[in-house]
Structure 1
């Protein structure tokens, strides 16, 4: 019996991510299945501001052991979860207050992630970043607080100047669709 490998989707250019101000998405719960398309298109696109590996998001189950009197073996039950991550982005401290749109563009992601601020991250795995999102786009929605911003020191002369946002999450909603209203 032979098996055929399923081809994968290459990640390059196919993991667009947006930061969306929480004020633009109200009433989001873990039962949410769709969000308005304009919330995403009006958000700050992030994927051109970080290198592969520059965005990490992880969910870790918090569990406890439980054994009812009728059970012969104890079981681990989920009682919650911890969501944490980091986002390391390019920025230019010298252009933070520039009025020139070309100068200000390098800091757009930095400004979308203020320390202490809360945002939604919408990540559309497999969506071509060159194609505008539409009603067929599906993605994961993460609500995160930027707990800290660190201005990083470059390890070599060839590196970009980077800042790291430490993220503490409070909600993950998978496979969210977009609606055109």
Structure 2
């Protein structure tokens, strides 16, 4: 039985850090319909993201703010993630997905001008991470129903970052190794 039941408060001590092998391997698909344990884990992961964005709770529990969290970031080899974010238009989005897969993407690319960060990475890594501007993601929600998300902009960037985690890819693996600030042609800044 996992300790990550819905009332468990995930803190930074639960976050697996860079260098742990689980972050560099593809995660295993989750059996459907999802078990109560998997549902509770996703709820706990979402609560962490919400708590981390609440300045009072973040201070109380010493949390770093996060917008996405994948199961392998808390040591679980399961293909599921949560995201809680406010997009570039000020709209709030909440996603909890099981067995997500990008089924299509735009040709156009974007990047965050300030770069990306990660709860599993304690150091500041400077550079740009090219991402697809728009993606379609198929997966399953907490009740095991199939869902299709059509994402663009910041939401697309965050979900690609989380799906990369589930595939054993860190954000800096997507950066240009010779020059982290070099970008491919025909890419634009999100802001």
The TM-score normalised by the length of structure 2 is 0.23
Relative to its length, the structure with more strand (as a share) is 1
The TM-score normalised by the length of structure 1 is 0.24
More contact order relative to length (CA 8 Å, sep ≥ 6):
1
Relative to its length, the structure with more helix (as a share) is 2
